[in-house]
Chain A
C-alpha cells in the first residue's frame, strides 16, 4: 500500500529519519546530572518569597524592553526620570575628582561633561590595564562601571576638544553570580570600542574585562560619533543604532545567568558596591 503512495512513503521516510537523531541528540541533556540551582529552586522556591520573585521577573521583563537598544536608551536619557540620576552622577564625579590627582573637575555638567586635561591618545590606554595577566578597567572606565547606571553616557573633554565617552549599557549576572556590565566607549581619534567586564573582589574589587573589542563594522562609525557628539539631553536627537556585535553577544551568551538587571536592582547592587550576596534567597 505504501509502495503505491510515493508521497506518503517519502513523508514516512522523513518522519523516521528525523526522529532518531532528534531523540538521540537530546539524550545527554536528559541524563546529565541536575544542576544544583535547579533542584534548589524547586526545594526552596515559593516558600514565602513568591511576591519577590514574581516582582523580579516582571521587573526584568519590562526592564529588558527598556534597557537595550540605542533608541530606547536615547529616549530614556530624555525622560524626566533621568534627571536625579544626572545630579547624583555629577556628585559622584565631583567626589571622585577630588581623589584622583589627574582629574580636572573644571566643569561637571548634566550627563557628565567634565573637563579633563589629558595628553592626546592616552584616553584609551589609560582605561585598561594589564594586571597579573588579566585586563582590568582603570580610570574612567572603572569609574563608569563602578558608579554609573546603565544608559547614562559620560563624556570627558580635554582642553583641546578631544573627548572620551563611555556608556555602561546593561548589567547582568554571570553563572557565578558576579555582576557583569556591557559598555561602549569612544574617543576622538581612537575609534569605537565595546566590551564586557565582570566585577571581582570585595568593596575595592576590580572590573575584569572579558572582552574589549574595537568596532570594525559599517555603522560603528556612526555609533562612535553619536557617542562622542550626541547632543545633551533636551536638545538632541538620538542618532544611530548600534549593530549588535557578535563577539560581545557571544561573550554575554557564554557567561550570562539571567536577564539584565532592572533599574532598581542595578541601583541596589551598585549601592552595595556590587557585593555578591551569598544565598540567592538572601533578600527577603
Chain B
C-alpha cells in the first residue's frame, strides 16, 4: 500500500471524526471509533479497489464497527442510553463555549434517535451524502432511507423547536421523547 493512500485517509479524517462523533455521541468515543476504523481499513486495504470511493468505504466500516459495539454493549447490559452522558464535550474544565453547548445539545438529541435513524442523519444531514449513496452504503432501499430520515427529522425538529421557552440551554428534552422512533404522523390531512 502506498503512502498516497495514507495521506488520502488523513485528509478524510476530519470528516470521519465528525461522523463518528455523531454516531457515538461523544468526541472521545468517536475518536476511538475512528482509530479502530483506520486500523481496520489498513488491515483490509488490499480489498479496496483503487478508483472506488475510499471515503464511503471508510464510512461503511466505521458504521459497521459502531453497530457491533452497540450490540456488544447491549449483550453486556451496559447503559446504551448515550443521551445520559452529554457533557463529554467540555468536561475538561476549560471554558465552555457556545459551540460546545450547541454540539452537546445536538449530540443529545441525536442520541435519542434509534440507531438506524442516527446513522442516516449522520450520513445525509451531517456528511451531505445523497440518499442514493446512503442507501447503497447501508444496503437498504432508497424509500427506506427517505422514510427513516423523515421520521428522524420530525423527531429532531420536535426536540429542537417544540420544546418552547429556552429549554434548549439546559437540554430540557422531555423524557417521553426518548422513543423518537414513534411516528407522529400528520397523515390524513392535505
Contacts and interface: CB of A to CB of B under 8 A. Distances in A.
Interface in A34-71: 34-35, 37-39, 41-43, 45-46, 50, 53-54, 57, 61, 64-65, 67-69
Contact of B6 (A42, A53, A54, A65): A42
Interface stretch (A9-17, A216-224, A264-272): A9-17
B102 A25 contact: yes
A167 B161 CA distance: 47
A67 B73 CA distance: 11
Interface of A, secondary structure class, is helix
Contacts of A15: 153
B186 interface: yes
Interface stretch (A120-128, A191-199, A249-257): A249-257
A74 B125 CA distance: 44
B42 A10 contact: no
A131 interface: no
B72 A65 contact: yes
A34 B72 contact: no
Nearest to A10: B186
A133 interface: no
Contacts of B154: 14
A18 B160 contact: yes
B76 A64 contact: yes
A7 B27 contact: no
A46 B18 contact: no
Contacts, number: 145
Contacts of A72: 76
A284 interface: no
Interface string A15-33: 1011101111111111110
A7 B187 CA distance: 8
Contacts of A11: 150
Contact of A30 (B14, B28, B77): B14
Contacts of A64: 72-73, 75-76
B165 to A, nearest CB: 17
A46 B186 contact: no
B125 A42 contact: no
Given A38-B17, A65-B76, A250 B100 contact: no
B45 A46 contact: yes
A106 to B, nearest CB: 37
Contacts of A254: 88, 91
B15 to A, nearest CB: 6
Nearest to B30: A29
Given A23-B126, A28-B99, A34 B76 contact: no
A244 B125 contact: no
6 contacts: A15-B153, A29-B17, A50-B43, A68-B77, A175-B28, A249-B78
